[in-house]
Amino acid sequence: MRVFLNPGHDQHYDSGAVNPSTGLRECDVAAEVGGLVQGYLEQAGCEVAVVQSDNLNGESPWLPCVVQSANAWPADIFVSLHCNAANGQARGTETLAFAFGGESEKLARCIQDQIVDAVGTVDRGVKERPDLCVLRRTDMPAVLVEMAFIDNDEDARLLTEQTDEIARAIARGVTDYEQEAFQ
């Protein structure tokens, strides 16, 4: 299976959310998790591409385009990696799918279940987000994982201290989906 990983935001142009007390940046967490997930998926026999870019769908043409790269490769599935942020109090993991009732929801449930089981985060469930560009413009089943809330100090600790467990869980979710979908 060809897996396209898109760590969210951009380490040069867009930090994403930042923890106000530690300065932990979403773009760095996403990049680290993305690299780890890539390794675990390659060990499991997947082909993996990783693109982290501020150009999601053509708005910054001097940078690699996330959506076009995934569609041109082409990927079998698309997984974007992000951290949530709200009011400092909210916690937990949620996985966003383009649509309910299709392959993206199945993939989202596989990943969501593995993260919640592995790390014990608050289970905020799978949500339908047809409005998100990376889910709407990609041709393959596409999900966006909000791993935990980076602006909540307890969740931020999970992101820094259980990075590897989170990455392993995402990789297991992908291979769980592969077994459901391709066998």
**Binding region for Zn ion (CB under 5 A):** 8, 16, 82
- Of residues 42 and 59, the one with the C-beta less far from Zn ion: 59
Exposed, middle or buried: residue 45 (CB in 10 Å: 0-12, 13-18, 19+)?
exposed
* Residue 1 near residue 33, CB atoms below 8 Å: no
- Of residues 93 and 175, the one with the C-beta less far from Zn ion: 93
Task: Report, in Å, the least distance between residue 8 CB and Zn ion.
Answer: 4
* Residue 3 near residue 75, CB atoms below 8 Å: yes
Task: Report, in Å, the least distance between residue 48 CB and Zn ion.
Answer: 20
Task: Report, in Å, the least distance between residue 137 CB and Zn ion.
Answer: 17
Task: Report, in Å, the least distance between residue 180 CB and Zn ion.
Answer: 27
- Of residues 2 and 88, the one with the C-beta less far from Zn ion: 88
Which residue's Cβ has the minimum distance to Zn ion?
82
Whole-angstrom Cα distance, residue 68 to residue 180? 27
Whole-angstrom Cα distance, residue 173 to residue 3? 12
- Of residues 151 and 178, the one with the C-beta less far from Zn ion: 151
In degrees and rounded to multiples of 5, residue 117 shows phi and psi of -65, -40
